[in-house]
Structures are given as C-alpha cells and as structure tokens.
Amino acid sequence: MKHSVIIKNLVLLSLISASVNPAFAHVNGQGTYRVEITMTPAEREALKANKKTEVAEANFKVYAAGELKDEEQVSVSSRGQSSLAHFPRKNLSVKVLKSEDGEKKKLKVGEIKGKHFTLSSSPEDQLFVKNSIGYSLLKAIGIHSLETQFAEVELNGQSQGLYMLTENQSEVLMKEKDADIVIRRRYNDDLEVKDSKKELSEADVLKYQTTLRNLHKSIRELSGDQLIATLEKNLNLKNYLKWLAFNYIIKNGDYSDEVYFFGKKNSAGEIYFDVSPWDLDDSFSADMHLSSFPKGPNYHMTENSQKQMIYNYESRIDRKVAGDAKLLRMYFAAMDEVVSTLSQKDVLYKIQQEVIANLSPYLDDADIQAAGLLDSVQTRHERAAVEDNVKVKMAKINLRMQEVKEELEVIKTEENINHRVLDLSGLRKVLIKIDNVLLRTVTK
C-alpha cells in the first residue's frame, strides 16, 4: 500500500476515535451485542499490521444490551487477503482457549455458540449487506448456510465499528451435519482438509480426498448419463447445481474457492459430499474476476451469459456442466427450481425486511456510522444509505431473476441445446490451468 494511503487511514482512525466520547460509545440498546477484546498495548499495535498476526491470549467479553453475558480467554488472529493489506479494520479469527484443567470451552454470542469464530469487518461489503442477503437466499433454496450475528467490536476500549460474527464452517459441519470430513476447495481445484473425525485413519482421510479429487479430475472423459451417474454417486449434484444457479443470479464475482465440501458415508456405504458456501462479499459484481484477462477462464463472459448462464469457468466441474448437453439441461432445471422458489410470494421482501431489521439497532451509533469512512465506501454508515443499499440490491435480484426466467422460457422450447454447449480450445484449457495455478499460488 502507498504511504499516503496508510497515513490517510491512520488520520481517519484518530479522528473517529477522538470524535466520540468513550463513555457514550457503547452500543447498549435492545437487540444489540458488543464484543470487547483486551490485550497488551504492544499486541494491539502488532494486530494493526498489514500481514497475518496472532495474539496468543486475550480477554473476550460478550455484552447483550449492555449486560455482560459471557467471558473467556481466546487467541486472536488477523486474516484475509486484500482486506488485510489495504484496510485498517482487520478481519479476525477467534479461538477459545482451553481452561487450565484442559476443558474445551465455548463462547455464545446471540444464537451463535462455538469454540471458533470469524469476526468480519467486511470493508468491501457495506455493513455485510451482500453476505446477509446471500446467506438468506441460500437458506431459502435449501443450501446449507452459516448462522451470523452482528456485534460492535472494541479492541482495548476503542470501537472498531460493526462486525459480523460467523460460525466456524468446520465446527458446524462436523457437529450439525455429522460430517466425517470437511474439505475446502481452493483455486485450481486444490482440496484442503479443514477437519476430520478423530477416529478416521490417515488412509480414511486420503480416501475421502481422493474421492472428491476424482470428481473434479476423472470426469474429463465422461459425458451424458454416465457423467451424471458418476457425479451423483458421490456428490449432492442437485445442490451443487443450485449453488451454481444462485451464484449466477447474484453475480458472485468470486466463488470457485469459497465453498466447503462436507462428506460422510451414505446408506449404501458410499462416500457422499454436499456443499456449504460462504464469503459472499464479491456478489453483485459487474463481471467475474479474470473476465477481461486474455484466455482466462472467464474471458469474454458477458453480464448476461445467454448460453450456459454460468458465471464462472474456473472449476473443472463447472466447465463440465457448461460443456455437456445433458448435464447442462439438468443445470437449467436446477436454475428453474431456484427461480421458482425465490419468486414465491413475499420471499424476497421478507429477506429484505429481515436484513434491515437485524441491522437497525446499530444504525444510529456514532462509532458504527463513522467506521464506514475506513471502508471502501469511505462514507459514513448512515441509516438511510444502508437501508437504501439493501433495497437496491434486492431490486437487482428481482431484475436478474426476470432476465433468467425469460431465458429459461426460450430454453424450454429448444429440443436440442448443443448450440449452448461450451467449446474451449486446447490452448485455452491450458491457459485456464495456468491462471488457476497462479491464483492458488498467490492466495496461499
């Protein structure tokens, strides 16, 4: 980051701190939560760095409507990629430390309870509107989605503004979904094991990994019914296709690596994976990232992809969906189901009102309003502007769904959809792989 930008952010942070009387800075109203994290002054300074930093032990207090509800010792780590490098309000990971007798403790913030949390400042998603809308849409279409909780975050007595507290994916999937293993997909379809049951041997873990890896790689030579049968044997293909449709509707500009696969044995004894997406702050993008990079995976993809209605060609599975007529037809059916569900009476309106209601108790707080000056919007988080942002995005979804509906009606009249099938040259496939390898390298 340029020195001028760093100085500007430090000045803004000082002005915000000085503009509010600390005695009256707390969010204490009904329906509000506040998190106070305390560490040594040196540790607090270290946590401001534009690189990943860990504080081994800090005090973590949870307040509801001004009343202390929970308190534990935790470790705190900064996290992220561009947000960590370019914004002073850092995203944080929190892990509850074991007690002296080895007891594994949990923290409760609102409806969220666990040993691990992500605290997101989301500097490029004004007060988490994109994530809030996206998670609600996922739940509406039957895709597993994380629970969240808003809270004002204070570090050593200084307000950092409003944060979104999110459950730890692995912890939730292992507990709620009784998953044997949780794997995150990265760029280039690299598969990162995040957690697994203790009783699984190394050989068992490798078997799960290999099964999922084969779904991404071994399907290259398959087509039609055999391709679909192979995918459905080990993957909730319908949910995967609904997730692809969801990403197209909300124009998610970065989702290939923002998904967790959680696996366990099904009734037939087969390893079976389902999907759990997260981190939707790149939704409502004008284009998919790498869309203008020559020969990149999303090169020449327009805002209205009139052929496959897929916003991303980065994963092998997604390219296969776009490139096989029978699987593409199955995807269009999944898209039709998603649109039909979200078009039911008041579904989108209720999501809009719920998002506004969850944010509302925090929108008159001076610290939370001022924190917007440090984010990408560089304007205060005023109530009217935040509520308008929610409504504008819901209107965009409504418009997008109308466009999709019109295209689906055309597709239903087509007996042969071969003209819609993606056909990539061998050179472009090689260049796509190079792009993905580079992406994976720089994001490690």
DSSP of 50-70: SS--EEEEEEEEEEETTEEEE
Across 197-258, the runs of DSSP E, i.e. the strands, are none
Mean pLDDT, to the nearest integer, of 239-245?
98
Say yes or no to pLDDT of 258 above 60.
yes
Cα–Cα–Cα angle for 69, 73, 78, rounded to 5 degrees: 105
Tokens of residue 45, six digits? 């300074």
DSSP symbol at 144: -
Mean pLDDT, to the nearest integer, of 199-205?
96
Say yes or no to pLDDT of 7 above 60.
no
Distance CA 287, CA 310 (A): 12
What pLDDT score was predicted for residue 323?
Answer: 93
Question: pTM value?
Answer: 0.90
Strands across the sheet containing 271-277: 191-196, 181-185, 259-265, 271-277
Neighbours of 286 (CB within 10 A): 8
27 or 265, higher pLDDT: 265
Mean pLDDT, to the nearest integer, of 221-243?
97
Average of per-residue pLDDT values in the chain = 90
Mean pLDDT, to the nearest integer, of 153-169?
95
Distance CA 119, CA 133 (A): 18
What pLDDT score was predicted for residue 36?
Answer: 97
Distance CA 33, CA 151 (A): 5
What pLDDT score was predicted for residue 20?
Answer: 39
Say yes or no to pLDDT of 72 above 60.
yes
What pLDDT score was predicted for residue 206?
Answer: 97
What pLDDT score was predicted for residue 17?
Answer: 46
pLDDT digits (tens, 9 = 90+) for 266-278: 999 999 999 999 9
What pLDDT score was predicted for residue 12?
Answer: 46
